[in-house]
């Protein structure tokens, strides 16, 4: 992109200001600019240039001093939280937030792991790319159970926007015709291995309510002309994803939506700009713009615009809104309901099992496929719930053959041992739960006025923990997993329940805290992600969620964003914003 796109101070009154440049911010900027609006993205982190700044890409483990393990002293000083993420290593650490500079607090008895990626492109560089639609069973769950607040939208409200996003992003998958997991617009799916095909047949023949499908993932298996025009090509199955992908084979802001927005000539980006607060005008009852602090110089500046879209991540957005106080909104902008910061949720990955598959000694696989099989939630409506807890869980899977790396646990020396290193070992198969978390008022974030960050702003205090519903769910999940694996003929099964070791936050699917709803007394946003109290302020990231469902949320974030932009522009044209 042209360097002129990056700005510092500006007297422009932008048509739209987008806070955050991750998955939702990139989509908001693309939609606004392509429809003729002069748009500013504000990003708190530095510029990352597609391809050029993927400094860990193409390097083998042997090219890192500690074989991609991050120096223990560096972890202790800067990455105590971030290093808990599966994607964190020496080849990716520069895409993670520095815990030393980004403090927050939690109760000692209930930790929360806040994984952050503060740079242009945000966590879209690091995400795991699993892409599933929510169904009406998810949108109706709160109403049916009397939990939380009813979603003000249903599947039909998002269906066209799901399709719009999917065609542009590129989602590989298969038409599975499962009522609780609506089909998407697909590129061809990745292939299953022979052991996976056998396991699928055995489980589906034994249980008429359970389906194993190839994971739907934002990777280009067969790019369309639209993808090629973006400069993106076929996934090479390299397992380089979190390092950044120069092929653009998986979807990210940097490879897709941001270049599209820049191409219009109507995009400006203010990097290294930490948003302090939203500027509110009590006369017009609208947001006038945002106040930022320079990431490096700590100087304050302001940007002004006609509408503001908050796309700074669930907790990032909420922190900014809570810090945006005035005489009209003493507890945070658009918070007349008092629910801003409450109903924080995440997915629970606290149970699973692993075992061995007999046979298939003459079978292997090529490449490093970026997805496994997936079993959608089979407890997706009240009549299917277990008696001792509400809702359910999806199941992810992984499969492979043991290789030379497993031999590090074996004793041996000499030519025979060296020869043994060249032989593949046994096939293994694992399943893990992805459980729903109920929305609860007491799971919340608030500002810690006694602890400031390096920019002088109050930090977040995060108070969120699993309830008995979530822990009971994980104990049931592991027994169900073992039963299905035994049915499929898996041997030497080992199981685990470790939700204590995986507190909320680690799934990186945090949602809630600025939920949508029809009643302004119980919600922050309306059905179009527009603040009830401030008509030109929108929130389209995970903060807007009313419940988690069991599906990975990023695809829905994107669909909500493009729908909100469409509504916003129509309202602007009508003079209502």
> How far is the C-alpha of 467 from the C-alpha of 432, rounded, in Å?
19
Beta strand 273-281 with 351-357 is unpaired
Q: How long, in residues, is the chain?
A: 577
Question: So what's the pLDDT on residue 420?
Answer: 77
Return all residues near 34 (Cβ < 8 A) that are at least 6 apart.
260, 261, 264
The ranges assigned to domains in the chain are 1-131+251-346+453-464+505-577
> How far is the C-alpha of 232 from the C-alpha of 220, rounded, in Å?
8
Return all residues near 14 (Cβ < 8 A) that are at least 6 apart.
38, 39, 40, 268, 303, 304, 305, 306
Could you read off the pLDDT of 154-170 as tens digits, one per residue?
Answer: 999 999 999 999 999 99
SS3 555: helix
Question: So what's the pLDDT on residue 543?
Answer: 98
Could you read off the pLDDT of 28-78 as tens digits, one per residue?
Answer: 999 999 999 999 999 999 999 999 999 999 999 999 999 999 999 999 999
**Secondary structure letter of residue 69 according to DSSP:** P
Percent of the chain past pLDDT 90, that is, above it, reads 94
Tell me how crowded residue 500 is: count the other CB atoms within 10 A of its CB: 10
pLDDT at 112 over 90: yes
> How far is the C-alpha of 566 from the C-alpha of 31, rounded, in Å?
8
Nearest to 400 by CA among 230, 195, 93, 219: 195
Name the strand (E) or helix (H) holding 449. strand 444-452
Could you read off the pLDDT of 113-137 as tens digits, one per residue?
Answer: 999 999 999 999 999 999 999 999 9
pLDDT at 1 over 80: no
* Superfamily in which the 1-131+251-346+453-464+505-577 domain is placed by CATH: FAD/NAD(P)-binding domain (3.50.50.60)
Question: So what's the pLDDT on residue 389?
Answer: 98
| Dihedral, CA of residue 297, residue 298, residue 303 and residue 307, to nearest 10 | 130
Beta strand 393-401 with 373-375 is antiparallel
Q: What angle do CA 242, 248, 251 make, to 5 degrees?
A: 70
Could you read off the pLDDT of 347-395 as tens digits, one per residue?
Answer: 999 999 999 999 998 888 888 999 999 999 999 999 999 999 999 999 9
Tokens read off for 522: 């119980």
Band the pLDDT of 18: cuts 50, 70, 90. very high
Alpha carbon 194 to its chain centroid, in Å, reads: 31
Determine phi and psi for 250, rounding to 5 degrees: -105, 155
Question: So what's the pLDDT on residue 365?
Answer: 87
pLDDT at 415 over 90: no
Per the prediction, the chain carries an average pLDDT of 96
Tokens read off for 260: 């599209």
pLDDT at 409 over 80: no
pLDDT at 417 over 90: no
> How far is the C-alpha of 484 from the C-alpha of 454, rounded, in Å?
51
Could you read off the pLDDT of 233-285 as tens digits, one per residue?
Answer: 999 999 999 999 999 999 999 999 999 999 999 999 999 999 999 999 999 99
Q: Tokens 């194993």 correspond to what residue?
A: 212
Beta strand 286-294 with 273-281 is antiparallel
Question: So what's the pLDDT on residue 233?
Answer: 98
pLDDT at 2 over 80: no
């Amino acid at each position: 992109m042209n360097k002129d796109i990056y700005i510092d101070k500006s007297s422009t009154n932008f048509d739209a200001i987008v806070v955050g440049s991750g998955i939702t911010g990139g989509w908001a900027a693309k939609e606004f600019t392509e429809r003729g609006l002069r748009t500013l993205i504000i990003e708190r982190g530095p510029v990352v240039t597609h391809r050029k700044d993927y400094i860990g890409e193409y390097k083998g483990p042997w090219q890192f001093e500690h074989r991609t393990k991050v120096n223990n002293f560096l972890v202790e000083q800067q990455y105590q939280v971030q290093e808990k993420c599966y994607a964190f290593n020496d080849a990716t650490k520069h895409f993670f937030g520095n815990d030393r500079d980004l403090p927050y607090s939690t109760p000692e008895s209930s930790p929360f792991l806040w994984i952050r990626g503060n740079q242009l492109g945000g966590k879209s560089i690091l995400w795991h790319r699993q892409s599933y639609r929510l169904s009406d069973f998810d949108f109706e769950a709160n109403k049916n159970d009397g939990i939380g607040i009813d979603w003000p939208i249903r599947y039909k409200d998002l269906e066209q926007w799901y399709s719009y996003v999917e065609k542009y992003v590129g989602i590989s998958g298969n038409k599975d015709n499962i009522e609780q997991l609506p089909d998407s617009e697909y590129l061809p799916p990745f292939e299953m291995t022979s052991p996976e095909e056998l396991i699928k047949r055995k489980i589906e023949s034994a249980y008429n309510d359970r389906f194993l499908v190839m994971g739907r993932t934002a990777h280009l298996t067969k790019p369309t002309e639209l993808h090629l025009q973006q400069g993106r090509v076929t996934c090479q199955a390299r397992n380089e994803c979190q390092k950044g992908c120069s092929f653009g084979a998986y979807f990210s802001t940097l490879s897709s939506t941001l270049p599209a927005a820049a191409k219009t000539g109507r995009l400006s980006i203010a990097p290294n700009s930490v948003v302090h607060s939203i500027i509110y005008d009590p006369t017009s009852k609208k947001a006038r713009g945002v106040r930022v602090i320079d990431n490096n110089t700590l100087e304050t500046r302001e940007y002004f615009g006609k509408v503001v879209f908050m796309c700074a991540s669930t907790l990032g957005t909420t922190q900014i809104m809570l810090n945006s106080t005035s005489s009209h909104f003493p507890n945070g902008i658009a918070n007349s309901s008092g629910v801003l910061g409450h109903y924080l949720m995440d997915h629970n990955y606290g149970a699973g099992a692993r075992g061995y598959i007999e046979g298939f000694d003459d079978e292997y696989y090529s490449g490093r496929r970026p997805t496994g099989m997936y079993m959608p939630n089979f407890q997706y409506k009240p009549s299917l719930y277990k008696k001792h807890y509400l809702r359910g869980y999806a199941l992810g899977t992984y499969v492979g053959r043991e290789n030379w790396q497993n031999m590090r646990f074996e004793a041996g020396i000499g030519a025979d041992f060296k020869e043994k290193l060249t032989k593949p070992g046994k096939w293994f198969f694992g399943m893990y739960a992805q459980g729903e978390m109920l929305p609860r008022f007491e799971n919340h974030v608030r500002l810690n006025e006694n602890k400031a960050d390096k920019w002088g702003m109050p930090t977040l205090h995060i108070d969120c923990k699993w309830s008995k519903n979530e822990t009971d769910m994980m104990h049931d999940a592991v027994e169900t997993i073992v039963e299905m694996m035994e049915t499929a003929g898996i041997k030497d099964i080992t199981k685990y329940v470790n939700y204590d070791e995986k507190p909320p936050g680690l799934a990186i699917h945090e949602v809630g805290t600025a939920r949508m709803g029809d009643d302004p007394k119980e919600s922050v946003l309306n059905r179009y992600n527009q603040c009830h109290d401030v008509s030109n302020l929108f929130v389209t990231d995970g903060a807007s969620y009313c419940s988690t469902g069991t599906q990975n949320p990023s695809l829905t974030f994107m669909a909500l964003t493009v729908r909100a932009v469409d509504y916003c522009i129509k309202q602007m044209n009508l003079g209502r914003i």
